[in-house]
């Protein structure tokens, strides 16, 4: 159980000078980050920020801070909110709206806090970039496990978010623990593996300057190498970046899109593009709804301090935590399907796009199809697949269960074949034949 609670006051946050990772390297000039401003929130007598000790394996001596709202649900969702360089868990608590949103929706917030001198998270060492390899990700996973045990948390609703160094850690957590996290929201970060070093340095100038460029497949391979052999669902990613970021430069935004669209097996061509706020360009990949596999928001004319009040609520929508009620039930719907395969000697990858051609939303779907003889699915994304051959049913995962009228969702799989590498046929949506 938590130690005696220590209340941390929340209110409007003053701009503070935050020396970022650059201070770690003599050749790098010190940069300045303004801490995020938060909307004032009335003080509460009961719920308070609490430090938890002895929460489990913690190789890098992280501190764990926890916020549990008075109205916490019976099996709450968990949001891990990761701070920026020279920040702390209490600063993240004070400077963002996550605790206020927890009060409203009943989820639990974990605020990891670095104790090393830089107050930056380790996103560069070989230990950090491997599942259970040691360093910060292991300690954060222990925090999640502690909350899951203590509050009977819903293990299908574990999320990560962070700012700057915390955004980089968000990418790392989703790569190291795809079986733990359902989605992440990264504010001014870099792709998983971009900051990798082998000389003990926490800083990678090439990545920070936006000169580390890879193909989508190469980025995806870095993520997959963090947990070799994993074939389950992958977490969704929302990424935010200012076009004038001079600390973690803007090309990192596009590289993250390349990485996570590849990991999730969706097209790099946006399924939807809009501008929800003046100066923002939002692109969604793999589907058009609020819980697309990948969502990217580019903020015009803004520097490294991209996070501002109101953005956490949009991340919460992406997570799917801003609504309540019974789970959607599968229903029939008019549909069309396009399917393609890309084959090599004895294997192939398949991509299937399902479009709702009806006039009402499909809430929960099962897509049936027939694989050609000799094909066996070995890995899939965007859905769960059973059985692996013959007449297969692909069932939606948490993030893409709703398809709006004229909306689409793209799923994919890898398969072995014995000579016939054709695309599947005979598609049905919740029992209704598709064109």
Catalytic residues: 164
CB 238 within 8 A of CB 257: no
Q: Bridge-partner residues for 151, per DSSP?
A: none
Residue 155 tokens, joined = 């293990």
According to the 3-state scheme, what is the secondary structure of the chain?
CCCCCCCCCCCCCCCCEEECHHHHCCCCCCCEEECCCCCCCCCCCCCCEEEECCCCCCCCCCEEEEECCCCCCCCCCEEEEECCCCCCHHHHHHHCCHHHHHHHHCCEEEEEECCCCCCCCCCCCCCCCCCCCCCHHHHHHHHHHHHHHHHCCCCCCEEEEEECHHHHHHHHHHHHCCCCCCEEEEECCCCCCCCCCCCCCCCCHHHHCCCCCCCHHHHHHHHHHCCCCCCCCCCEEEEEEECCCCCCCCHHHHHHHHHHHHHHCCCCCCCEEECCCCCEEEEEECECCCCCCEEEEEECCCCCCCCCCCHHHHHHHHHCCCCCCCCCCCCCCCEEEEEEEEECCCEEEEEEEEEECCCCCEECCEEEEECCCCCEEEEEECEEEECCCCEEEEEECHHHCEECCCCEEEEEEEEECCCCCCCCEEEEECCEECC
Residue 127 tokens, joined = 């230990």
Q: Residue 175 half-sphere exposure, CB side, CA atoms within 13 Å? A: 30
Residue 170 tokens, joined = 């968000």
Closest C-alpha to 269, from 292, 291, 252, 249: 292
């Amino acid at each position: 159980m938590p130690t005696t609670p220590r209340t941390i006051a929340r209110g409007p946050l003053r701009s503070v000078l935050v020396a970022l990772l650059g201070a770690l390297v003599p050749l790098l000039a010190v940069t300045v980050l303004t801490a995020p401003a938060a909307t004032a929130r009335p003080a509460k007598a009961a719920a308070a920020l609490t430090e938890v000790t002895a929460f489990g394996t913690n190789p890098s001596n992280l501190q764990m801070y926890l916020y549990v709202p008075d109205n916490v649900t019976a099996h709450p969702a968990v949001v891990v909110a990761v701070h920026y360089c020279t920040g702390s868990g209490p600063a993240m608590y004070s400077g963002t709206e996550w605790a206020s949103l927890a009060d409203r929706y009943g989820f639990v917030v974990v605020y990891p806090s670095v104790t090393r001198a830089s107050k930056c998270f380790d996103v560069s060492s070989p230990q950090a970039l491997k599942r259970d390899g040691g360093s910060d990700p292991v300690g954060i996973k222990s925090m999640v496990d502690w909350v899951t045990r203590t509050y009977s948390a819903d293990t299908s609703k574990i999320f990560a978010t962070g700012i700057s160094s915390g955004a980089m850690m968000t990418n790392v957590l989703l790569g190291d623990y795809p079986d733990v996290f359902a989605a992440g929201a990264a504010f001014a970060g870099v792709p998983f593996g971009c900051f990798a070093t082998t000389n003990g340095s926490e800083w990678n100038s090439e990545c920070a300057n936006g000169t580390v460029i890879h193909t989508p497949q190469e980025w995806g391979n870095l993520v997959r190498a963090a947990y070799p052999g994993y074939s389950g669902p992958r977490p969704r990613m929302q990424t935010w970046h200012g076009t004038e970021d001079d600390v973690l430069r803007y090309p990192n935004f596009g590289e993250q899109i390349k990485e996570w669209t590849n990991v999730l097996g969706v097209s790099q061509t946006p399924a939807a593009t809009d501008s929800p706020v003046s100066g923002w360009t939002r692109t969604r990949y793999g589907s058009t709804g609020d819980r697309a596999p990948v969502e990217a928001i580019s903020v015009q004319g803004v520097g490294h301090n991209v996070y501002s009040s109101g953005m956490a609520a949009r991340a919460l929508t992406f997570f799917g935590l801003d609504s309540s009620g019974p789970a959607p039930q599968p229903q029939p719907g008019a549909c069309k399907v396009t399917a393609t395969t890309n084959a090599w000697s004895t294997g192939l990858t398949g991509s299937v796009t399902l479009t709702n051609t009806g006039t009402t939303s499909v809430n929960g779907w099962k897509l049936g199809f027939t694989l050609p003889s000799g094909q066996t699915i070995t890995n899939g994304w965007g859905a769960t697949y059973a059985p692996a051959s013959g007449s297969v049913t692909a069932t939606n995962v948490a993030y893409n269960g709703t398809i709006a009228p004229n909306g689409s969702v793209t799923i994919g799989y890898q398969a072995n074949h014995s000579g016939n590498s054709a695309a599947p046929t005979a598609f049905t949506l919740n029992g209704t034949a598709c064109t």
